[in-house]
Amino acid sequence: GAVVSQHPSWVICKSGTSVKIECRSLDFQATTMFWYRQFPKQSLMLMATSNEGSKATYEQGVEKDKFLINHASLTLSTLTVTSAHPEDSSFYICSVRPGQLMNTEAFFGQGTRLTVV
């Protein structure tokens, strides 16, 4: 199966600063990657779909100016949380789905625990 590497696995930052999270597809080229957010004891909520070479598609209610997504290559997508605030503290997970078919499994990064203090 596909290997997805997410970095960093955890980060603590001060309120008002920006944090960049990287998601790499190590063994296949991903034209699309998905970014999820997971609050404690809750499910994964899709934030946005990252598209290589074009703008990301954001879900309703997700601020695109706050959560900047860049998918500059077929193996790397980045999520930057700008001007982070304590309410942005969460677990962020990226995912790829080889073949871009509805019946294929998705592969997930190990997640990034963001704590804003």
Partner 1 sequence: AQSVTQLGSHVSVSEGALVLLRCNYSSSVPPYLFWYVQYPNQGLQLLLKYTTGATLVKGINGFEAEFKKSETSFHLTKPSAHMSDAAEYFCAVTPSGAGSYQLTFGKGTKLSVIP
Q: Using CB under 8 A as the criterion, which residues of the chain lie in contact with partner 1 when the complex forms?
A: 1, 4, 6, 9-10, 34, 41-44, 46, 49, 91, 93, 95, 97, 100-103, 105-111, 113
- Shortest Å, Cβ 41 to partner 1: 8
- Shortest Å, Cβ 83 to partner 1: 25
- Shortest Å, Cβ 15 to partner 1: 23
C-alpha triplet 16, 54, 110: angle, nearest 5°: 60
**Cα 58 to the center of its chain, rounded Å:** 12
The C-alpha atoms of residue 80 and residue 98 are separated, in whole angstroms, by 24
